Amino acid sequence: MRSLFCLSAVLPVLALGPACGDDGGSASETSTSTTSSAASDASESSVGAGTTSGSPSSGPAPSTSTSTSAADSTDATVGDTTDVADTSDASSGAPDEPPPPTDAATLLPWLEAGNYARWDAEAERHPSRGPHFDGVRTFVNATLLESLEAGSEDHPVGSSVVKELYGAGPDVGGWAVMVKVAAGSSVDNWYWYESFQGTTYADATGVDGCGDCHTAGADFIRTTLPL
């Protein structure tokens, strides 16, 4: 009887073992659930991060802005080119170039600097047909050239001639200059200048000695075309 009692006492204790085993199963499920939850959270975080990293898809906006800036830069460049073209056109007006100075103090440095050298000129020096020393070479500005080409008998104000004067040597020894300073064909409407080897022979308007010799030409200009 005592043996049966002991066995009946032991059986309940054995019956408790599976219950502990169930607790172990619950812990496993909890661990699995926690892992799944963490993985899910990590996945969601990863998706969120992916969405954030995908946000550079908004990048085209800066890119578009850059393109616009490039276009603006292109427009600005075109504007600059137009300005350059305008300046070039304005500088091509040779007939508007100021005539030489009409006083010896300013004219002589202007001549020595060769400011007339770009004018149309005779191809080479030749013997003078007047009292201009040994050899001469004549230059005419655009204003006078156009008037000569038109066959004018009264040249416009600003018409100018520079005649290089040579002695026996090859170097320029001086200059003779005419500048039209007033409208109308008169010796008084021309400025006359002549200097050779340091001596000035004329520096005024209405120089009769010069006018007497040049009266044979159209409006006192004896130079003819072609140069």
Q: Both 66 and 114 in a single domain?
A: no
Separation between Cα atoms, residue 162 and residue 19, nearest integer Å: 130
Q: Both 108 and 30 in a single domain?
A: no
Separation between Cα atoms, residue 78 and residue 179, nearest integer Å: 42
In this structure, the number of other CB atoms found within 10 A of the CB of residue 189 comes to 19
User: Is residue 152 included in any domain, yes or no?
Assistant: yes
Q: DSSP label at 100?
A: P
Total tally of structural domains belonging to the chain: 2
Q: Which domain holds residue 86?
A: 2-90
Q: Both 81 and 110 in a single domain?
A: no
For position 157, what pLDDT does the model report?
97
Q: Both 121 and 164 in a single domain?
A: yes
Low-confidence ranges of the chain (pLDDT < 70): 1-95
Q: Both 118 and 207 in a single domain?
A: yes
Q: Both 109 and 83 in a single domain?
A: no
For position 97, what pLDDT does the model report?
86
This prediction has a pTM of: 0.59
User: Is residue 31 included in any domain, yes or no?
Assistant: yes
User: Is residue 28 included in any domain, yes or no?
Assistant: yes
Q: Both 149 and 57 in a single domain?
A: no
Separation between Cα atoms, residue 122 and residue 118, nearest integer Å: 12
